Amino acid sequence: MALMTYAQAAALALQHEMTADANVIVIGEDVGRGGIFGQYQGLQASFGAERVIDTPISEAAIMGAGVGMALAGLRPVIEMRVVDFALCGMDEIVNQAAKNRFMFGGQGRVPLVVRMPIGIWDASAAQHSQSLESWFAHLPGLVVVCPATPQDNYSLLRAALASGDPVVYMEHKTLWGLSGEVDVSQTATLGHASTLRAGADLTLVSWSKQVQACASASEQLAAEGLEVELIDLRTIWPWDRDTVLNSCARTKNLLVVHEAVQAGGFGAEIAASAAEATGCKIQRLGAPRIPVGYAPVLEAQSRIQAGDVAAAVRLMLKSSR
């Protein structure tokens, strides 16, 4: 076990994968100097500029090159800086990476990982603060991952590189400095959620940075005698239906919390699946359908805080008793 940040854990995962497999490369803007969040720190010095490749500012060109590299047998890690910028490379992701294996009968594989940090980036306004995981979950052919801790950012990044398919890897923009213990021997399986807290009163499902707000809310509620079962989904697609639905069947109550806009968010998929399978009581908690504001008072309107989660749980349990 070692104490490291979310960014350091990702860099260490890449170091291990690049050491083990010469086909693993990195491509993107500023990766040579360590990336804008330090998530590639030291890699170009260790593996050279031919494997940690700095590119011009063109997301479409970066994604197109990455898809071609993957089809040629490499295993590229493609840096998009933030998900908001990745929108300039959507055709290469949606119509090339996601569909190639299906359209050509499995003759080609696209084993790439495209890193698209999500979430509200403090004081960075509407074009740098989006959570778009549901867009990519909607697309057949893509795996979508949202790590919430340094341990998961280490283990899930290694699992993503081993998957053999295109993975949209969505770290949170403000988690890079989060510290935690990392066990390099601990593996992760894509599609498996983590139950962080057991409880009998309500199932609380979240992912990415919102797991922190949910954990804090769970502590508050426990002091009031309300026990929630907290599940970190970790992988948006495939998502762990068994863990979530088994919990919902026991607690009879489900609250899904995400930072993304509530309308059309991935929480709706979880809610509909739980309703169909268990008939439990369901609520969703997400951001209003507004652009994230630059001014702190406006930005706050898009944030889901621990108090909001706790209040939603109390209201649900009060009305069900």
Q: Where are the domains of the chain?
A: 2-182, 194-320
CA 246/CA 193 separation, integer angstroms:
12
Q: pLDDT per residue over 199-242, tens digit each?
A: 999 999 999 999 999 999 999 999 999 999 999 999 999 999 99
CATH architecture observed for domain 2-182: 3-Layer(aba) Sandwich (3.40)
Catalytic residue among 128, 138, 172, 192: 128
Cis previous bond, 238, omega within 30: yes
Residue with tokens 């933030």: 82
Q: How far is CA 225 from the centre of its chain?
A: 31
Q: pLDDT per residue over 169-210, tens digit each?
A: 999 999 999 999 999 999 999 999 999 999 999 999 999 999
Residue 298's alpha-carbon distances to 138, 157, 303, in angstroms, are 29, 34, 10
pLDDT at 305: 97
Nearest to 204 by CA among 241, 242, 172, 233: 233
Residue 82's alpha-carbon distances to 129, 185, 308, in angstroms, are 9, 29, 27
| Strand arrangement, sheet containing 253-261 | 194-197, 228-232, 202-206, 253-261, 281-287
CATH code for the part of the protein at 194-320: 3.40.50.920
pLDDT at 215: 98
Extract the residue ranges of the chain whose pLDDT is less than 50: none
Around Cβ 68, how many Cβ atoms within 10 Å? 14
Helix or strand run (H / E) with residue 79: strand 75-79
CA 64/CA 91 separation, integer angstroms:
9
Single-letter residue type at 150: P
Tell me if 23 sits within 8 A of 51, measured CB to CB. Answer: no
pLDDT at 20: 98
Same CATH fold, 194-320 and 2-182? yes
CA 8/CA 5 separation, integer angstroms:
5
pLDDT at 321: 62
Active site residue 192: no
Tell me if 5 sits within 8 A of 30, measured CB to CB. Answer: no
Three-state SS at 163:
coil
